[in-house]
Amino acid sequence: MVGVQLVVLGLLAEARMTIKMGRNFRGRASGSIDQPNDLGAFLAMFTAFAAAMFFGIRNFWGRLVLAGAVGAGIFGVMLSVSRGGILALGVALGWVALRSSRMLTILLIAGALTSPAWAPDYLKERIMGTEVATSETDEKELESSSADRVEAWRAIGQLDMDHPIDGGGFCGV
């Protein structure tokens, strides 16, 4: 039980730090982890853990702390604007809801369907935007993080074509 309490305490501490520090000059919170995507993954993972623990605790004060931790974790993930963190949080909370509570499942579905109405503009732009306009022409190109991902997948595809049976190994070819 002490391990559960320490995990929730860590979630609360990081969520509090993220909320306190807010978004930085690039429009993304990085918390004490100092990297928005890593922060989003951390908060998503332990927010889902706290949500799962909520249904196993019968103590009112324990449930209140867990509910606060889940709320703070969700808010922290939204501040990090990590697309992977948001997706992981949605899938994990959806799984917890499906396994634990019909009402929570309905609330999550309603929240997802109404998110265009309540989500802040910076979050909607980050989720929907993978293109940026170039200053020299009117053409659009992929933002740097999306372009890096496309290039990584191209390299992986080329590696698979070059070595279809034995692969590249741990250290590469």
Confidence band of 19 (pLDDT split at 50, 70, 90):
very high
Name 28's Cβ contacts closer than 8 Å, sequence gap at least 6: 36, 79, 80, 81, 82, 126
For residue 10, give the H/E element and its range.
helix 2-21
Residue 95 vs residue 1, higher pLDDT: 95
Residue at token pair 């590696």: 159
Q: What single DSSP character describes residue 131?
A: E
Task: Tell whether the model's pLDDT for residue 10 goes beyond 60.
Answer: yes
The 10s digit of each residue's pLDDT in 93-111 is: 999 999 999 999 999 999 9
Of the given ranges (62-66, 67-71, 82-86, 138-142), which has the lowest mean pLDDT?
Answer: 138-142
Q: What is the pLDDT of residues 21-30, one digit of tens each?
A: 988 877 888 8
User: CA 12 to CA 21: how far, in whole Å?
Assistant: 14
pTM assigned to the model: 0.74
Binned at pLDDT 50, 70 and 90, residue 159 comes out as confident
* pLDDT in the model for residue 72: 96
Name residues whose C-beta falls within 8 Å of residue 116's C-beta, 6 or more positions apart in sequence. 124
Alpha helices, H only, 22-82: 36-54, 60-80
